[in-house]
């Protein structure tokens, strides 16, 4: 066992002597590949002006959103809901002729009135909510 320890100590001593004596060769070998490395180049991510902003907007134009036209709302007890049948009338809080809300993903963006085009319902926008008003409404929720 002492012999194994002596062999290991000799191996460490030889390795240490080799690293001290031949250290210059190793250092020069390591230095020369570093000299061959070219400097890194990076793309310019700075804003490129109006043309760049238009390209960014184009990236989101095809994202689908949920557009909802809300005729009106009401609160009624569950017992009244259970009594509903075909022909039942549910009274809404919205008055006749009052503009309907147009919501995108649940946020009010406009108001309008109902129109019928080719036997389909539509909405004619009568008032668009300004961006500052939208932000004010968002801060209240």
Summarize pLDDT for 26-84 with one digit per residue, the tens: 555 555 555 667 777 777 766 655 555 556 778 888 899 999 998 888 999 999 999 99
The pLDDT value given to residue 68: 92
What pLDDT band is residue 125 in, cutting at 50, 70 and 90?
Answer: very high
pLDDT in tens, 83-119: 999 999 999 888 888 899 999 988 889 999 988 889 8
Q: Which residue has the higher pLDDT, 94 or 18?
A: 94
Please compute, for residue 67, the number of CA atoms within 13 A of its CA located in the half-sphere on the CB side: 9
pLDDT at 66: 93
CB 68 within 8 A of CB 100: no
Q: Which residue has the higher pLDDT, 38 or 122?
A: 122
Report pLDDT for 6: 77
CATH superfamily, region 65-140 = SpoA-like (2.30.330.10)
Render the chain in DSSP notation, one character per residue: -HHHHHHHHHHHHHHHHHHHHSHHHHHHHHHHHHHHPPPP-----S---HHHHHHHHHTTTT----EEEE-------HHHHHT--TT-----SSPTTPPEEEEETTEEEEEEEEEEETTEEEEEEEEEPPHHHHHHHHHH-
pLDDT score at 138: 72
Check residue 126 and give its pLDDT.
93
Q: Is the pLDDT of residue 23 over 60?
A: no
pLDDT at 65: 92
Q: Which residues make beta-bridge pairs with 108? A: 103
Return the domain boundaries, the chain. Answer: 2-36, 65-140
């Amino acid at each position: 066992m002492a012999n194994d320890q002596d062999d290991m100590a000799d191996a460490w001593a030889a390795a240490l002597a080799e690293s001290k004596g031949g250290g210059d060769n190793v250092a020069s070998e390591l230095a020369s590949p570093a000299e061959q490395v070219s400097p890194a180049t990076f793309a310019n991510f700075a804003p490129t002006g109006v043309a760049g902003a238009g390209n960014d907007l184009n990236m989101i134009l095809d994202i689908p959103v949920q557009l909802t036209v809300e005729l009106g709302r009401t609160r009624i007890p569950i017992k009244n809901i259970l009594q509903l049948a075909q022909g039942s009338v549910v009274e809404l809080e919205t008055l006749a002729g009052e503009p309907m809300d147009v919501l995108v993903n649940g946020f009010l963006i406009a108001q309008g009135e109902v129109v019928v085009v080719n036997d389909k319902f539509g909405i004619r926008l009568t008032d668009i909510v300004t961006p500052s008003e939208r932000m004010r409404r968002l801060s209240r929720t």
